[in-house]
Structure 1
Amino acid sequence: MDQVPTHTTTPAGKARARALAIPLQGTPGPANAITDVAGVLVGYSTIIKGEGELNLGHGPARTGVTAILPFGHDGIGTACAAGYHSFNGNGEMTGASWIEEAGSISLPILITNTHAVGPCHRGVIDWVARHKPDVANQWLLPVVAETWDGYLNDINGSHVTGDHAIAAIDNAASGRIEEGSVGGGTGMNCYAFKGGSGTASRIVDYGHRSYTVGVLLQANFGSRRELTIAGVPLGHALADDNPMESYFSGGSTGAGSCIGIVATDAPLLPGQCKALARRMPLGLARTGTTGSHFSGDIFLAFSTANSDALNGRFPKGPPGDESYSHMDFIPWGRMDDFYAAVVQATEEAVLNALVANDDMTGRDGNRSPALPHAKVLAALKARGAVAG
């Protein structure tokens, strides 16, 4: 596959997985990001402050907020089909009960750290009340998900506020987006390397047109011994420099969780969105994880087609002849290519979160090393996974 410059580096110039010539299946979109789905915006609030020892709950902050807007700022309050899947429930995604009930979402999706769900939830409500008062006059059930960053971040220090959630929504933009230690992914770890935010997309040809499937992950899962890239087990080759293993006294370092979001412009039913969300663990598995008990792996997929067909707002007046909603959708028997796109984009999003990163030191001097690009490339070449 031809390498497009925007596919190999982030906007800040950090390498992505394709810069290492890692073989990856499928055809990416122009930015190889969830924002390749038309109308979808992503914004970050990144909080990095303080050094040294933890001090009475006010120690170093390595955390933040990620916001995903399915229909942009103007479309907040517009419903889209959605489906939720919990692979391992040691985590939180608010609003899941309503997604299961109504099969839709209509607000920004926020991802942050485990102890910051509350202020982010309030921040979404405050943003909507300020900018969309008609929407806020009805009930609001924001979707806020989390992963644990307490190894690097003073997670009890209340560093994330509602203002950070609002800023992430305000900052949301289309096009290429940054990856690695940004937004909610700032303090996260993956396979005991520095992890965080990663994204990728795939184009699915369907008859006379093409659709886009985009993925964004907050990658904070996996033990070092599990790491697999391009089918090559790398845990043994990369076993050194593993301070997290020492921190957890040899226990599971697969803790921390993964939140995954799938976006597509293909017309889908809520159950089909749920089916896409269920495929995300298969993409994670390609990178080696076996699904730790301590890792909350929770996924959400939404479709921007059939805009507002599934709205659940208070009705106005009695029902009439036009009081019906209608939806187009891909036949179930033709879903396989969309499933494959989710798996492929999920795998690449994990690798991007790992590759587009640097060493980070946080609370109590805890350190998370970056994935060593040269060692990875050498190991893949030795196994014939990439050209020598």
Structure 2
Amino acid sequence: MGIRDIGVRVGHGTPGPFNSITDVQGVRVGHRTLVENRAEVSIRTGVTIIEPCPGIARFDPCYAGVHVLNGNGDATGLEWIREAGLLTTPIAYTNTHSVGVVRDALVAAERATLGESQYWCMPVVLETFDGVLNDIWGQHVTASHVHEALAAARSGPVEEGSVGGGTGMICHEFKGGIGTASRRLATRDGGWTVGALVQANYGRRDALRVAGYPVGDVLRDLPSPFDKRQTGVPGMGSIVVTLATDAPLLPHQCEQVARRASIGLARVGGGTEYSSGDIFIAFSVGNHGIPPADYGKAIEPVISVRSVTHDFISPLFVAAADAVEEAILNALVAAEDTSGQRVHVPALSTARLLKALEQVGWRRPADRAERPFTD
């Protein structure tokens, strides 16, 4: 169930066949979800893996770029992307206190795949805080869970909501988690695809907007899972975003695309809380034969790469913003009511959302053709 399945359209353009980051050829996603009740704690956490291409290794890197809207969060591997413009490992999402074990497990997986043929690797691991629903201090994510998420990575439809790294996340004071969406550009705009995958764990309920409508105005008085004395304050948390495209982009252009995640986030009502870590990464699979990151492994001193011209890059920015906006909303409508460590967190059910939309003036649109980006 996604936001489109209930008749709500956001942004412009046409999604790919899966309306997912996996609409970008070669991209795969895998989850490992941990849900367990113990005598004194509740475990609601996990790992999500994004592979830019099957079995990506340092010998076939992607160009990539990073943007941080607000830095109240943590990540590994971003400085190398900023320096070299290269993504050389899968990307992982998990909870705040499991970044280290996930990073180490990805290092071990790289060595198991490539043996002594490489010197080092710097995995990219992004986090958001799930300690309201999950026993985060227990650090229940293990290396085996990471390996299982890697083994589960597939193309095609992506499970959303309370799964993988998003299992214990809260978004706009409703149950949040993993969401994904995509946009396919018109042929005259290049015909490329942009896909987004988010781990949404941010935001105040009264700020929530859906398709531009201020539904937070009519949902604000519902009971909140946050209690300042016990579980923190509304708006605390973070969001991490990965954008993928098959458009041939250079590293600085990937960073430009990553920046546009901020627009999609703002449309839903996020991006203004100091307590949020808003970290975005974008990568392109549109160039191949980029030299590996290992010193001394390049065959030629100069390579030829392709790049989208500036006259054609704006539709990619539109697609990135739209895909992020829809991915966040998909995370919300796909999530389920969840009880955990300290609280019960309600889902933004489709019935509740549709009622709120109607209260603020939204009307279900008649069937219409999707608008190309250059209309």
Q: Same fold (TM over 0.5)?
A: yes
- Cα offsets for 1:296-326 (capped at 9, x unmatched): 0000000001124153222159x7xx43221
The separation in 2 between residues aligned to 1:255 and 1:308, in whole angstroms, is 42
2:31 to 44, 53, 62: 44
The separation in 1 between residues aligned to 2:7 and 2:297, in whole angstroms, is 56
The separation in 2 between residues aligned to 1:374 and 1:17, in whole angstroms, is 12
Q: In the alignment, does 2:202 pair up with 1:221?
A: yes
8 Å Cα contact 1:221/1:255 also seen in 2: yes
Q: In the alignment, does 2:140 pair up with 1:162?
A: no
Map 1:197-346 → 2, pairs under 5 A: 197-207=178-188, 210-246=191-227, 252-316=233-297, 322-346=300-324
8 Å Cα contact 1:71/1:78 also seen in 2: no
Return 18-27 or 167-176, whichever deviates more: 18-27
Q: Which amino acid aligns with 2:235?
A: G
Q: In the alignment, does 2:91 pair up with 1:94?
A: no
User: Residues 290, 263 of structure 1: CA spacing in aligned structure 2 closer, same or farther, 3 A cutoff?
Assistant: closer
- Cα offsets for 1:43-64 (capped at 9, x unmatched): 00100001564xxxxx211000
Q: CA deviation at 1:375?
A: 2.6
User: Residues 316, 349 of structure 1: CA spacing in aligned structure 2 closer, same or farther, 3 A cutoff?
Assistant: closer
Q: CA deviation at 1:183?
A: 0.5
- Cα offsets for 1:21-49 (capped at 9, x unmatched): 11222210000000000000000010000
Q: In the alignment, does 2:169 pair up with 1:188?
A: yes
Q: Which amino acid aligns with 1:23?
A: R
Q: Which amino acid aligns with 2:350?
A: H
Which residue is equivalent to 2:368? none
User: Residues 60, 252 of structure 1: CA spacing in aligned structure 2 closer, same or farther, 3 A cutoff?
Assistant: closer
Which residue is equivalent to 1:381? 358
User: Residues 301, 129 of structure 1: CA spacing in aligned structure 2 closer, same or farther, 3 A cutoff?
Assistant: same
User: Residues 16, 140 of structure 1: CA spacing in aligned structure 2 closer, same or farther, 3 A cutoff?
Assistant: same
Q: CA RMSD in A?
A: 1.9
1:31 to 2, 14, 18: 18
The separation in 1 between residues aligned to 2:28 and 2:310, in whole angstroms, is 28
The separation in 2 between residues aligned to 1:153 and 1:203, in whole angstroms, is 37
SS of 1:233 mapped into structure 2: coil
8 Å Cα contact 1:262/1:342 also seen in 2: yes
Q: Which amino acid aligns with 1:226?
A: A
Q: CA deviation at 1:241?
A: 3.4
- Cα offsets for 1:340-360 (capped at 9, x unmatched): 000000000000000001100
User: Residues 149, 29 of structure 1: CA spacing in aligned structure 2 closer, same or farther, 3 A cutoff?
Assistant: same
Which residue is equivalent to 1:368? 345
SS of 1:298 mapped into structure 2: strand
Q: Which amino acid aligns with 1:197?
A: I
Q: In the alignment, does 2:35 pair up with 1:64?
A: no
Tell me the TM-score normalized by structure 1. 0.89
State the aligned residue count. Answer: 364
8 Å Cα contact 2:219/2:356 also seen in 1: no
SS of 1:296 mapped into structure 2: strand
SS of 2:106 mapped into structure 1: helix
8 Å Cα contact 2:245/2:284 also seen in 1: yes
8 Å Cα contact 2:244/2:283 also seen in 1: yes
Q: CA deviation at 1:250?
A: 10
Q: Which amino acid aligns with 1:192?
A: E
The gaps in structure 2 that reach 5 residues or longer are 366-375
User: Residues 356, 258 of structure 1: CA spacing in aligned structure 2 closer, same or farther, 3 A cutoff?
Assistant: same
User: Residues 208, 63 of structure 1: CA spacing in aligned structure 2 closer, same or farther, 3 A cutoff?
Assistant: closer
8 Å Cα contact 2:56/2:88 also seen in 1: no
User: Residues 288, 108 of structure 1: CA spacing in aligned structure 2 closer, same or farther, 3 A cutoff?
Assistant: same
- Cα offsets for 1:92-133 (capped at 9, x unmatched): 121111001100111110010000001000110111111222
8 Å Cα contact 1:23/1:385 also seen in 2: no
Q: Which amino acid aligns with 2:4?
A: R
Map 1:30-179 → 2, pairs under 5 A: 30-50=17-37, 53=40, 59-73=41-55, 77-135=59-117, 137-179=118-160
Q: Which amino acid aligns with 1:277?
A: A
8 Å Cα contact 1:42/1:67 also seen in 2: yes
Tell me the TM-score normalized by structure 2. 0.92
The separation in 1 between residues aligned to 2:210 and 2:229, in whole angstroms, is 24
Q: In the alignment, does 2:3 pair up with 1:21?
A: no
Q: CA deviation at 1:385?
A: 2.3
Identity percentage of aligned residues:
44
SS of 1:132 mapped into structure 2: helix
Q: Which amino acid aligns with 1:199?
A: T
- Cα offsets for 1:151-170 (capped at 9, x unmatched): 00000102001111111111
Q: Which amino acid aligns with 1:386?
A: R
8 Å Cα contact 2:43/2:140 also seen in 1: yes
8 Å Cα contact 2:30/2:50 also seen in 1: yes
User: Residues 250, 148 of structure 1: CA spacing in aligned structure 2 closer, same or farther, 3 A cutoff?
Assistant: closer
